[in-house]
Amino acid sequence: MMHPCWAARVKPFKPERLSLLLLTAALAGCMEAAGPAPALTPLPPDPARVKMYSERQDHGYTVPGVDVAKIDPKYLRQLVDYDTDQPAGTIVVDSYNRFLYLVMQHGKAMRYGVGVAKAGLEFEGTATIARKAAWPHWTPTPDMIKREPERYGPLAKGMEGGTKNPLGARALYLFKDGKDTLYRLHGTTEPWSIGKSVSSGCIRLLDQDIMDLYQRVPRGSRVVVLGPDGKSQGES
């Protein structure tokens, strides 16, 4: 016979309680079985891009290879769809999105990632490539020497071309109305700067990219540098 105190403490059994207990146990079992989420393994770099940015010999110099795994893929050279009114052969620089486009036919463009000028040093408008140079000589501008005399003063007479020259493997010189703007499209010894705003006014590309662009465009090619609104100076 059940003790009266026990009888007072025993609650009538409800079937729905059993269902709840079984569901709780099942969920606990699933969580234990799943364990921690596996770590994601980065995809290996595209072999074609690795080759495109590999070390190469050029004019007696060694162009260092670029570790493409350290660069945002969107800044690597690629053929893209591009809607523009500019004719094929035009170079369009979108400084604010860090891209340079070589306009091609049928709505396409070759796109390159670029490093651009620090705030206040930007060039905007249209220009013409009046000169091309491989492994160019470099001389800091008077304004650069004035801004940073300790850095650029000792280089006032210039630096011969080579792997330590800040213009890199190639340079395209921008002129406007027949006068040198002092702005260049050029290579760089600092691959990490692509996609950033760091230069003293020029547009820099990876050496492998400026070499590619250099052989695609002749002297006299038109260059359009867009403003923050996506238009060049003079456009309405």
Q: Dump pLDDT digits (tens) for 108-143.
A: 999 999 998 776 457 789 999 999 999 999 888 788
Catalytic site residue from 3, 30, 137, 186: 186
- pLDDT at residue 160 is higher than 70: yes
Determine how many CB atoms are found less than 10 A away from the CB of residue 181: 19
pTM of the model: 0.77
DSSP 138: B
Tokens of 212: 């590619």
d(CA 180, CA 187): 19
What H or E segment, with its residue span, contains residue 197? strand 197-199
Q: Which of 102, 140, 96, 136 is nearest to 116 (CA)?
A: 96
30 is known as an active-site residue: no
- pLDDT at residue 28 is higher than 50: no
Integer angstrom CA distances of residue 126 from 36, 37, 40, 175, 194: 56, 53, 46, 9, 22
Domains observed in the chain: 57-225 (2.40.440.10)
Catalytic site residue from 5, 106, 137, 202: 202
d(CA 148, CA 157): 15
Assess contact for 213 and 185: CB atoms under 8 A: yes
What mean pLDDT is predicted for residues 33-46?
Answer: 54
Determine how many CB atoms are found less than 10 A away from the CB of residue 113: 23
pLDDT band at 30 (very low <50, low <70, confident <90, very high): very low
Upper half-sphere CA count for residue 126 (Cβ side, 13 Å): 11
What H or E segment, with its residue span, contains residue 58? strand 56-58
d(CA 124, CA 227): 6
Instruction: Please state, rounded to an integer, the average pLDDT across all residues of the chain.
Output: 82
Q: Which residues contact 208 (CB under 8 A, 6 or more apart)?
A: 52, 53, 56, 63, 66, 77
Maximum alpha-carbon separation in the chain: 114
pLDDT band at 26 (very low <50, low <70, confident <90, very high): very low
Determine how many CB atoms are found less than 10 A away from the CB of residue 129: 20
